[in-house]
Structure 1
Amino acid sequence: MTGGPVPGKRTTIRDVAKSAGVSYQTVSRALNDKGEIDTTTKQRVLDTAKRLGYRPSRFARGLVRQDSTSVGLVIPNLLNPYFTEVAAGALEAARRRDWHVVVYDTADDPDQELSTLAVLGSQVDAVVGYFGQPDDVIDRHTGGMPVVQIGRETLGSRFGEIKVDGEDGVRAAIAHLAGSGRRHIGMLDHDHDHHHDASVRYTWYREAMREHGLPTYVTGAAQSIEGGQRAMAAMLDEHPELDAIFTYNDVIAIGAMFQARLLGRRVPADFAVVGFDGLAIGSMVEPPLSSVRIDTRAVGATAIDQVSQLLAGTKPDSATIRATLLLRGSA
């Protein structure tokens, strides 16, 4: 057994479990006077918890049943409906297991992400989500807790991972636009000033355009309807010859479509618009938005499935969600 509490570090239920030589579920049952635990083990756990100075967090006592698995879902922006749909998929999958999901919004801010990681250890049993921090930083803050990363490779770490592969979907979108006679197809990428580099979605667009021998046009856009409007206005001012636009996501696409119509472009008669994500909101605009569709519910559900495997001690295989072209009315 290990010694007493470490100054400046909050003792977690996992610390008690490690010191007592039992699972964290056993610690939870002992602390909450649940059944299925013998008297000797229960007393050992209680003595260990007292020696280490463990106390359940106010959060855990008030919001999460100690005999139930809780998962922290970390997302960069709840206002973006893509992440809302992913969260819905995770919540649905967790409910089937009688698990709890607590959502953390980092506002796409690195400092807020670090603050979120700093409090996760005492609040949940596993973490899934979108992270900008390096793997070693995430590992240090989560201390052996199961972690599933969405949208990026984990470079062989202990984490589960879910990758989104939109290459074939983007290729299909450009082929459709080129096949309908479009020759000047631009792209509104994410905000390059904020993210510094062009996105992998731009790489997919560029390669697809090369396959058809077409020139590329790109500018960055803030990930909002207003951002799409501003970027579309600037791009059409610089390149009035454009007859189609592909965008980093559906929110940008909706703004771009609004702006194109304000500038007198008929959609899709003389100007086509294709987004990326395939969100439900795309069916609520006129004309309905064509998009490279990601099964957002499957992303959330797969994350919960991987958590289940990690909690059982198994490293899950990397999962890939592949995009497909969803044609509606805008292209």
Structure 2
Amino acid sequence: MSTNATQALTTPNHFIPASVNDHVNVHGSLGSGRVIRQDRTTIGGIVDNNRQDASPRRATLRDVARAAGVSHQTVSRAINDKGEIDPETRRRVLETARALHYRPSRHARGLVRPGLVTVGLIVPDVVNPFFPEFIAGVIQAADAQEWQVVVASTQNDRRRELPLVRALGGQVDAVVGYLSHSDAELAPYAEGLPLVVVDRGPEPSAHGIVRVDLAAGVRAAVRHLVDRGHRRIGMIDCDAVCDPLVRPETFLAAAAEHGLPVGEADVVHTTQTMDGGGAGFATLRAANPELTAVYAFNDLVAIGAFQEARRQGVRVPDDCALIGFDGLSLGELLDPPLSTVHIDKRRLGELAVDQVRVLLAGETPPPAVLTPTLMVRGTT
């Protein structure tokens, strides 16, 4: 049995991992004993995660409109039998929809009503302590609206994002996701779906956006290290597709603003894990033994770097200061505790639900931006 399948779970009030098998399995009660399952051959069914691409694109409302030679509003009225529409036009639209095997989503069928809303939540990982806190924020905010939440993990594999958007999109009223794909890449999979993208960069988007001001956080970390008297600072960056180049470019720019002799050779790339942090610290110290401070991509990387420093006999912060990013409570367990740039993860989840609420009302919300805060502890 394969162990690389996407994990999924459902709530409304609990975080319960689903069983893992060769495919994505999303099960859980969605009210009144209804069960959601994904099936590989139908939208709303199982997505085969071992495939490198998604299944053939299903027909969208706009496809029907183009084929029938009418507006997408006319297609919606014809399918939902609402509003005044010429009988011949309705007949042509319905025949076209049947020919294209078009099946409207819950949202397109007008099934979004208070108390019946289900939100699909896609995260890259449920092991990293960052994401359970974010998920808890989404669940808490959704619960206040009497909504339900279905959660799925891509296990840090961006190839699973689009199939999950498609599969969940036919069964839920909106999707919130950590998605690395562009609007153009998402378009065929999210047609007519209220979608909120988390941690997207500042570029314009047709979807709801919730993002952390990463640049502000990086600048705060560098400024803090400079205020502590450090001139030679290195960075352990992440090789993941999330926020590509944002942090290393901002790190180098912030260092330049303070006149620090820091260049690309002072940035190493690794996985966003504790093991990756240890390897990154070892590489940095070997190449730049004169470094007196290290900024890490996230707290897990920083904790791994801390452990490697101890193994090498490097005293933190006396020989080398260390600062992370995310504000995980795990960092408080180090001795000394980890300095970090704190992200209010529950608030991030609340902002995502706020975006969903506006989208379901038929409006386009402005991007929501969360500014992280410096949390000075013992490692700096």
Normalised by the length of structure 2, the TM-score is 0.69
Residue 209 of structure 1: CA displacement?
0.9
**Which 4+ residue blocks in structure 1 deviate beyond 6 angstroms?**
15-18, 51-57
- Kept in 2, the 8 Å contact 1:189–1:199? The answer is no
Paired with 1:153 and 1:198, the residues of 2 have a C-alpha distance of: 9
Alpha-carbon offset, residue 198 of structure 1: 5.6
Cα distance change of structure 1 residues 55 and 168 upon mapping to structure 2, 3 Å threshold: closer
For 1:94 and 1:17, the matched residues in 2 are separated by 30
What residue identity is the alignment partner of 1:237? A
Alpha carbons 1:257, 1:273 under 8 Å: kept: yes
Mapped contact 2:200–2:243 kept (Cα < 8 A) = no
Deviation at 1:181, TM superposition (A): 2.1
The yes-or-no answer on 1:212 pairing with 2:272 is no
Task: Give the match for residue 200 of structure 1.
Answer: 246
Alpha-carbon distance in 1 for matches of 2:304, 2:57:
48
- Residue 76 in structure 1 maps to residue 136 in structure 2: no
RMSD over equivalenced CA pairs, Å: 3.0
For residues 327 and 153 of structure 1, the distance between their equivalents in structure 2, rounded to whole angstroms, comes to 26
Deviation for aligned residue 1:155: 4.6
Q: Give the AA of the match of 2:246.
A: V
SS in 1 for 2:176: strand
What SS class does the counterpart of residue 306 from structure 2 fall into?
A: helix
Distance 2:202 2:371 in 1: 18
> May I ask how many residue pairs the two structures share in their alignment?
288
Asked if the contact 1:71/1:124 (under 8 Å) is kept, the reply is yes
- Partner of 2:187, secondary structure, is helix
1:143–1:111 Cα change, 3 Å: same
Q: Is the 8 A contact 1:121 1:143 kept in 2?
A: no
| 1:150 and 2:190 are equivalent in the alignment | no
SS in 2 for 1:142: coil
Distance 1:182 1:67, change over 3 A: closer
> Counterpart of 1:188 in 2: which secondary structure?
strand
Give me the TM-score of the superposition, normalised by structure 1: 0.78
Structure 1 residues 22, 242: closer, same or farther in 2, change over 3 A?
A: farther
Instruction: Please give the per-residue CA displacement for 1:68-126, whole angstroms capped at 9, x wherever unaligned.
Output: 10111111122222222211111110111111111111122232112212212222110
Task: Select the residue among 73, 80, 85 that pairs with 1:20.
Answer: 80
Question: Contact 1:73–1:101 at 8 Å: present in 2 too?
Answer: yes
| Structure 1 residues not aligned, in runs of 5+ | 1-6, 24-47, 58-64
Contact 1:189 1:198 in 2 (8 A): no
Q: Secondary structure at the match of 1:141?
A: coil
Corresponding residue number in structure 2 for 1:130: 178
Q: As a proportion of its length, which structure holds more helix?
A: 1
Q: Which of 167, 178, 194 pairs up with 2:215?
A: 167
Corresponding residue for residue 116 of structure 1: 164
Whole-angstrom CA distance in 1 between matches of 2:335 and 2:180: 35
**1:288 counterpart SS class:** coil
Higher relative contact order (CA 8 A, sep 6+): 1
What's 1:238 paired with?
A: 287
Report the AA paired with residue 212 of structure 1.
Answer: H
Pairing partner for 1:249 from 295, 298, 319 = 298
Show the 5 A alignment for 1:210-289.
210-216=256-262, 217-289=266-338
Q: 1:127 deviation in Å?
A: 0.6
Q: 1:271, CA displacement in angstroms?
A: 1.3
Give the letter for the 2:348 counterpart: V
Per-residue CA shift, 1:272-320, capped at 9, x if unaligned? Answer: 1100111222212222111111111111110001100110111111111
- Distance in 1 between residues matched to 2:82 and 2:332, nearest whole Å: 51
Counterpart CA distance in 2 for 1:272 and 1:229 is 15
Question: CA shift at 1:129, angstroms?
Answer: 1.2
User: Percent identical across equivalent pairs?
Assistant: 42
Matched, 1:299 2:352: no
The offset of 1:213, in angstroms, is: 1.4
Aligned in 2, Cα 1:154/1:125: closer, same or farther, shift over 3 Å? farther
Secondary structure class of the residue paired with 1:140: coil
Deviation at 1:154, TM superposition (A): 7.5
* SS class of match (2:319): coil
Cα distance change on mapping 1:54 and 1:208 into 2, 3 Å? closer
What residue ranges of structure 2 are gaps of 5+ in the alignment? 1-55, 62-74, 84-93, 106-112
